[in-house]
Structure 1
């Protein structure tokens, strides 16, 4: 008799940070992986590493169902299209298509990327798209972990780049002394890979933060130590946000979503402790390591 070939774990979002980290972690553990991409060229690197490559459009039920058929589990993400005015409607379409495809393919379990604040009904801006994702997947009746990540450490990349070029560190977060949970995207992917290998029933919520919380002042202190010179924090008033983000390519709707989300962060409406049912986990990568990586690029 020949040994049966184990079914793969499916990973979406491998052209982004968390999906790439999840696929990398699973492959490093010697597990079978199927990555899902829309462009075949984006899958070549993963094929060279031994992964199966599936082609799918996140809004197409047939291709999504094929990508999710005969698997051990899947890490699913809903990419957000900040250049579109209909980004919330598109996010809802992607969420619904993912849920229907997973149900049609009889996927045993899902790990879904979400965000701190997704338990809130309103006042969270962009995070409302993560809430849609959770709701649609919960309706599918599949065992699912909603991986609610803290503020991504990599969100500091533009501001750190600005500070490295010109001196001061701009920030949308206020007050500058208040610490927030933050997490590296590499830790998000690693956590997703670990959760896929666990067993559970029903739905669970896992909050993921880094090893410690950070304030804008802490970011400036890290840069100051690296550069061996003082780095000042400049808190941008809300009236200046549109101009500061002028080169980001945000649609009007996306800018409004960013503004509401940032207000929610600054007012502590968006908070890791708002959902008592969530299970807390912590990554290992520090903001110092992430900023060092940014500075070296």
Structure 2
């Protein structure tokens, strides 16, 4: 039995679908049962639990041999950073109780960095906590998801300007489609056991993209000229403040500073396995133009 925590998300659904196509039993663990329909349609068993409710989550995991986890950010909560910390602790307690043979955790590029670089540092904390489990642990560090660009596509098409926190705009950065990430995760879950200890895997797309590259993709898909423009660093705080709590804004600002510095939100030095997805940026963003 494979238990997928957060199976309704893009990555979780991709993993669940791949496992079902391989004929494997999947228990989809959701916070909201209203999102269960498409998972039920592909033959998943459904369980509900909140990451911060360790007892309920342990019961949902149950007798699963392997568990895939992803920690979602809840931007509408009062303190998303504190929520992430409580989710990490709830998850650790649940896994300690359930004791699956294998855990695969979706982490983040840059989680190896010891300095505080915002969001990747939250995943460093996740990795450190899970490393205390007495089970086989695979950590799948993901590059930024391509579909995150979808948030600014309507603005870019309307104005001809693609706003970005990437500066310089011609700096190519690692990114991956959520679908590919889920497939890579499923491939490791279906593969041979990694033995004891922690195995770290990095995953990114077939090539790296700059903000200029993304603007060119949006231009092609929208049939209008779109150019990338970096949001000045002095305006970042004011840009984030209207849409999210200050703790989340702080995590994102630090992460973007680290990305723009270069060499931090990256593959760790002396990394072992690096896997590459197949989905290009234009194929990842095409669905945003079919809505």
Q: Tell me the TM-score normalised to structure 2 length.
A: 0.93
Partner of 1:5: none
Partner of 2:221: 226
TM-aligned CA deviation for residue 101 of structure 1: 1.7
Partner of 2:25: 32
Partner of 2:189: 196
Partner of 1:263: 257
The CA deviation string for residues 55-96 of structure 1, in whole angstroms up to 9 with x for no partner, is 212111211111222112111111122333433332222212
Alpha-carbon distance in 1 for matches of 2:44, 2:2: 10
Alpha-carbon distance in 1 for matches of 2:241, 2:80: 18
SS at match of 2:99: coil
Alpha-carbon distance in 2 for matches of 1:232, 1:263: 22
Could you tell which deviates more after superposition, 15-24 or 108-117?
Answer: 15-24
Partner of 2:236: 241
Could you tell which deviates more after superposition, 146-155 or 11-20?
Answer: 11-20
Q: After superposition, where does 1:45-194 map in structure 2 within 5 Å?
A: 45-194=38-187
TM-aligned CA deviation for residue 208 of structure 1: 0.3
Conserved? CA contact 1:207–1:272, under 8 Å? no
Alignment pair present for 1:275 and 2:279:
no
The CA deviation string for residues 92-111 of structure 1, in whole angstroms up to 9 with x for no partner, is 22212212222221201011
Conserved? CA contact 1:58–1:98, under 8 Å? yes
Alpha-carbon distance in 1 for matches of 2:221, 2:82: 43
Cα–Cα, structure 1 residues 227 and 64, in superposed 2: closer, same or farther, change >3 Å?
closer
Partner of 1:285: 279
Where do 5+ consecutive residues of structure 2 fail to align? none
Where do 5+ consecutive residues of structure 1 fail to align? 1-7
Cα–Cα, structure 1 residues 235 and 99, in superposed 2: closer, same or farther, change >3 Å?
same
TM-aligned CA deviation for residue 123 of structure 1: 3.1
TM-aligned CA deviation for residue 246 of structure 1: 4.8
User: Cα RMSD (Å) of the superposition?
Assistant: 1.7
TM-aligned CA deviation for residue 183 of structure 1: 0.3
Residue among 5, 16, 32 paired with 1:12: 5
The CA deviation string for residues 237-270 of structure 1, in whole angstroms up to 9 with x for no partner, is 12222343355x3101111111111000000142
TM-aligned CA deviation for residue 12 of structure 1: 1.2
TM-aligned CA deviation for residue 40 of structure 1: 2.5
Alpha-carbon distance in 1 for matches of 2:38, 2:226: 39
Partner of 1:4: none
Length, aligned pairs only: 289
Cα–Cα, structure 1 residues 43 and 223, in superposed 2: closer, same or farther, change >3 Å?
closer
Conserved? CA contact 2:160–2:224, under 8 Å? no
